[in-house]
Amino acid sequence: MSDSPILTSESPGKSALILGATGAVGRHLLRELISTPHFTRVGEFGRRVTALDSPYVPQIPEVKEKLKQGVVDFEKLSEEGEGKKLKEGGWDVVFITMGTTRKAAGSFEMFYKIDREYVVNAARAARTSSPTQRLVYLSSGGSSATSPFPYLRSKGLTEQELVSIGYPDTIIFRPGALAGADRSGEPRLPEKVAVHVTNFLSLFTDSLQIQVSALGKAMRIAGQFGTAGLPASAQASKETFEGKMFTGIGNIGALGLAKEEL
């Protein structure tokens, strides 16, 4: 149990939208959202959706009533009909765990389209006029709009664009390496070496790595309590971009949140 005080959650009966629920972190976040009574409506939208018999969909009696799923064409989100799919739910909290890599996307052009354009357009489409709507985005440790590395630069630029949309409360997670993620295919030798090195160094510091299940829990807690209700264990930082405030949570803070019994 953490030394942080147990906080009183916002009133129950809230709704949550998750984009990217079939990914390594998103699937654990989906399970968290369905399991908690705080969120009484959960929307999962994406190019594909999670099967109801998946281990990431808790087999509870109310799951069919609680979970709303839909396929969305991210290429057409700027069109009124497609964008309406994300807006009409009037979601209290919007979680985005979408992302890709250059290798998975096939080209830098497709990487930027999926990692930035799709994410920003989805967040814009889901934005309502609610003065309390919240956005929780999964970025990456080391993200920077001026980074020489394409992946980290994309994350940094995406963060800026999301903040510019103007959600009343924007929370950005910047985790380290994701441990426990399902990886398709056999990792190459350099990737295997990097994993072993990270695992070893993580014995001495909490800043490098986090289990995907722990990150999913941390994101759920942040979305549930919001910036104003985050416990000290989140080690949240208040940041600004072009006059708009947002909250950043690094790897250590995500680990701290995951240890909370909330």
Q: Which of 113, 151, 244, 259 is catalytic?
A: 151
Give catalytic status of residue 68 as yes or no. Answer: no
Residue 151: CB atoms within 10 Å: 17
Averaged pLDDT score across all residues of the chain: 90
Q: Which of 137, 155, 167, 217 is catalytic?
A: 155
pTM, entire model: 0.89
Percent of all residues in the chain with a pLDDT value above 90, rounded to a whole number: 79
Token digits of residue 14: 């809230």
Confidence of residue 80 (pLDDT cuts 50, 70, 90): confident
pLDDT of amino acid 202? 47
pLDDT in tens, 43-52: 999 999 999 9
pLDDT in tens, 127-166: 999 999 999 999 999 999 999 999 999 999 999 999 999 9
pLDDT of amino acid 229? 98
CB 15 within 8 A of CB 88: no
Give the DSSP letter string of 190-250.
HHHHHHHHHHHHTTT-SSSEEEHHHHHHHHHHHHHHHHHH--GGG--EEEEETTEEEEEEE
pLDDT of amino acid 73? 97
- Checking if the pLDDT of 2 tops 80, the result is no
- 80-87 and 119-126 helices cross at what angle (nearest 10)? 70
CATH number for region 14-177+212-258: 3.40.50.720
Among 15-29, 73-87, 106-120, 173-187, the range scoring the smallest mean pLDDT is 173-187
Give the DSSP letter string of 96-112.
E-----HHHHSSHHHHH
- Checking if the pLDDT of 190 tops 50, the result is no
CB 139 within 8 A of CB 172: yes
Give catalytic status of residue 155 as yes or no. Answer: yes
